[in-house]
Amino acid sequence: MNENDKYLKVSRRDFVRLSSLAVGSAVIAPGLLTASPSVGSGNQQLIWGNLLHLSYNMWCDRLPDSWGNYKPDQLHNVQVSDTLRFDDSLWRDITGRMAKAGMNMVVIDVGDAIQYASHPEISVKKAWSSTRLGEELARLRSLGLEPIPKLNFSTAHDQWLHDYSRMVSTPVYYNVCAELIAEVATLFGKPRFFHLGYDEETAGNQKAYSISIVRQHELWWHDFEFFTTTVEAQGCRPWIWSDYAWGHPDEFYEKMPKNVLQSNWYYGLEFDKPDKMAVRTFLELEKHNYDQIPTGSNWSSPENFGKLVEWCRKKISAPHLKGFLQTPWYPTLEDFRNQHLQAVENVAEAIKNYNA
């Protein structure tokens, strides 16, 4: 046994302990422990979801250099903010239109946008209180939208963890992450899914960052098991982006548990080219019997989502096709109202065509 093996063995024992302890670690605000609606549970109703952001602190963590290589006006490089960037009126308009469009799920990127009882040092200024979050979750459910939490623990998208994002795979990190998952799961009323992100953890995706952290080999899988075990201890099903399979297909299909809900994503239009790894992964996930929620976006093309739905419904068997997810990837700010509403319109059209 080498030193790394010893470390993993000790950490594995610790994270199982943390997962079990985390079940009771969150503070429950009065009236917030409300069960998720039965939309899609106990039946085979297809999920039509949209990813929306409370927190957008997940991209680059530094200011531009003297050569201008980092440009803060590019959305994927927005530096970490100490204040919530969020427009209530736009949020309500988006979710209202989602309900009218026949959508039934909203995946909420929570990040540092709520006032954590377990770790208030993470929360940004103007973060939502647990009471406000509870009221909003109730409103969403009244619209027929099932709220699902998302905390992205990929090292490429974990700036919302602030200082803890530089403590990856340490005892402090495991403890903090377990407590945050437990608290969010409780505030969301023990949702049936919990999205862990876990995408794009590569050096290339962090080339503009002031520090690059990439877990590899057994450590990637060790931490992944920690997160899925922690989520399952809350009674939730873990949900991830599937792009780790793009670079590690053999390892992925050998080790990835079937209980982990998969969202492979592709934002282009070339579905007739199965040599594209992102497209082929939909087929490989089906071949290996994974449940899927294929994910599209209007980031590159407004035509993507409709084509994604049309193609995937022909390629993925009904038992494994759990639904579809739209991901606009814009902050919830008025400057991006048109992009958000276009994303909903794309899904509305796809639903209409699906049911035709």
pTM: 0.89
Q: Is 190 left (phi over 0), alpha (psi -120 to 50) or beta?
A: left
DSSP 57: T
Residue 352: what residue type? K
List the CATH number of the domain containing 183: 3.20.20.80
3-class SS of residue 321: strand
The H or E element containing residue 295 is strand 295-296
Spatial separation of the C-alpha atoms in residues 190 and 23, rounded to whole Å: 11
Residue range 80-98, pLDDT digits in tens: 789 999 999 999 999 999 9
DSSP 265: B
Structural domain for 162, as ranges: 3-355
Q: Give me the residues paired with residue 326 across strands.
A: 50, 296
Q: Is the CB of residue 192 less than 8 Å from the CB of residue 36?
A: yes
271-280 average pLDDT score: 90
* The pairing of beta strand 323-326 with beta strand 295-296: parallel
Q: Is the CB of residue 174 less than 8 Å from the CB of residue 219?
A: no
Number of domains in the chain: 1
Sign of CA dihedral 120, 124, 125, 128: negative
Residue range 180-224, pLDDT digits in tens: 999 999 999 999 999 999 999 999 999 888 899 999 999 999 999
26 pLDDT band (50/70/90 cuts)?
Answer: very low
